[in-house]
Amino acid sequence: MSKILLKFYDEDIIEEDTFYTWHEKASKRFTDKNTAKEIREMANEFVQWLRTAEESSDEEDDDDDNKLPEPQISFTHTVNKPPVKGNGEIIDTENI
């Protein structure tokens, strides 16, 4: 999940504030509330990294001579769910 969110962020598809707003509250608009909560929990690592990156960026703006290295993130959260079947074929969501 975090890798997908990182790609959206890197490609400027979703703005930073949108991630924060989405992460704060589960919505049952497109799925049940428990599933929405599980998805947000899987995104915790990314949102924490995003907040850290924002703080580092603010510090860099204040002092360009002492640039901080880009945060090294390791997204380790995995879900133990069976592969998704689409149009009769099995899709291995771990290799997307």
pLDDT tens string 68-91: 566 566 656 555 665 555 566 766
Match 């880009």 to its residue by tokens: 70
Q: pTM for the complete prediction?
A: 0.51
SS3 84: strand
Query: Looking at the 3D structure of the chain, how many domains does it have?
Result: 1
Q: Give the residue among 23, 29, 26, 30 at the shortest CA–CA distance from 50.
A: 23
Counting every residue written for the chain, the total comes to 96
Cβ count within 10 A of residue 43: 20
Domain that holds residue 31: 2-95
Q: Are 91 and 83 in contact (CB under 8 A)?
A: yes
Q: Are 94 and 57 in contact (CB under 8 A)?
A: no
pLDDT tens string 55-68: 766 665 555 555 65
